Amino acid sequence: MKRFALAALATVATLTSLSASAQFAKPEDAIKYRKAALTVMAAHFGRIGAMASDKAPFDAKIAAENAAIVEDMSKLPWAGFGAGTDKGETRAKPEIWTQAPRFKAAQDAFAAQAAAFQQAANSGNINAIRAEARKLGGTCKGCHDLYKVPSN
């Protein structure tokens, strides 16, 4: 337990310093970074989604591993939304910058739900995983509806 707590703290410290120190030479680097982080997160969330919807056999260990990655990644994309990154290869809406506190609150709600999701995954209970995965998907969608230009 103690060792787990220390390891968790070390991970948080590392990720916090990583995201705080994420520096981008050019706006397009930041855009690439945030897309990459979101893509990796979606891939690992999708592996659990497949289990939650019975498209893949349930494996508690694999679920926990993927949820840990989702939780780690949930903190990273936001450093890539700095000033000047509203133009380019992006479907990010201007509201991200014109309603910055609201966008930040959405990030925080999302990260909190990612943590709850990881806890559920660690419990190994597929019904808890399903419930928290549904909520997490809801926070993804909530942000996309407000802040992402739909693809046609």
**Cβ–Cβ under 8 Å, residues 114 and 74:** yes
> Which H/E stretch holds residue 29?
helix 27-52
Residues near ligand ASC, by CB under 6 A: 42, 45-46, 49, 137, 140-141
Q: Least separation, in Å, of the C-beta of 42 and ligand ASC? A: 3
What is the phi/psi pair of residue 148, to 5°? -125, 130
How many Cα atoms sit within 13 Å of 80 on the Cβ side? 20
Report the residue number, 47 or 85, with the smaller CB distance to ligand ASC.
47
Report the residue number, 45 or 117, with the smaller CB distance to ligand ASC.
45
Report the residue number, 30 or 47, with the smaller CB distance to ligand ASC.
47
**Cβ–Cβ under 8 Å, residues 90 and 31:** yes
SS3 100: helix
Q: Least separation, in Å, of the C-beta of 145 and ligand ASC? A: 9
Q: Least separation, in Å, of the C-beta of 45 and ligand ASC? A: 5
Calpha distance 12→52 (Å, rounded): 27
Q: Least separation, in Å, of the C-beta of 139 and ligand ASC? A: 8
Report the residue number, 49 or 80, with the smaller CB distance to ligand ASC.
49
